[in-house]
Structure 1
Amino acid sequence: MKREGIVKWYKVEKGYGRIMLDGEDTNHVFVHFSSILPDNKRFPDGFSFLKEGQKVSFDLIESPNSTDQKQVAENVMVISD
């Protein structure tokens, strides 16, 4: 299911962060750098990352392999900075 959200925080050095679903601070999901879609304009060196406050769209996926993350963001695309 396609959703939109705002990056709550993202640790570039670790390669993961959180996205607030529909901009709600109390409802957020995990995002890993491998889930960010390529964007040659924003990421010319090939390394994908997010910044706090960016608006993004993504697929919300149930995560059966994780004990602490019930839902994760996949196919993340930056909509606006």
Structure 2
Amino acid sequence: MASGKVKWFNNAKGYGFVNEEGKSEDLFAHYSHIQMDGYKTLKAGQSVTFDIVQGPKGLHAVNICGAGATASKVEVQPIESIVQA
């Protein structure tokens, strides 16, 4: 398993690129290969571990795990505070 950092990740398109530590080549990262619960996303500069496979157009990062990755939390208000009688 390799380690590196996220170069950039576009949430709307669901992909981005990561760089392996000590190397300059960009590795394609697709949201379907991010290993986390909830909304799967990465942030630029985030430390990650991953496996590298040869894809049809170059190297891909798969089994991507972010350091301290957690599911997004949504704050919920009680319905009584939203609906006025």
Shift of 1:79: 1.7
Q: What TM-score does the superposition give when structure 1 sets the normalisation length?
A: 0.76
Q: Figure out how many residues of one structure are paired with residues of the other and give that number.
A: 69
Instruction: Please name the residue that 1:43 is paired with.
Output: none
Q: Return the structure number with greater helix share.
A: 2
RMSD: 1.7
**Shift of residue 72 of structure 1?**
0.4
Give 5+ residue unaligned stretches, structure 1.
40-45
Q: Percent identity?
A: 35
Look up the equivalent residue of 2:67 and give its one-letter code. I
Please state how far the C-alpha of 1:80 moved relative to its aligned partner. Answer: 5.1
Structure exhibiting the larger radius of gyration computed from Cα positions: 2
Q: Could you say which structure has the greater relative contact order, defined with CA pairs below 8 angstroms and 6 or more residues apart? A: 1
8 Å CA contact retained: 1:54, 1:80: no
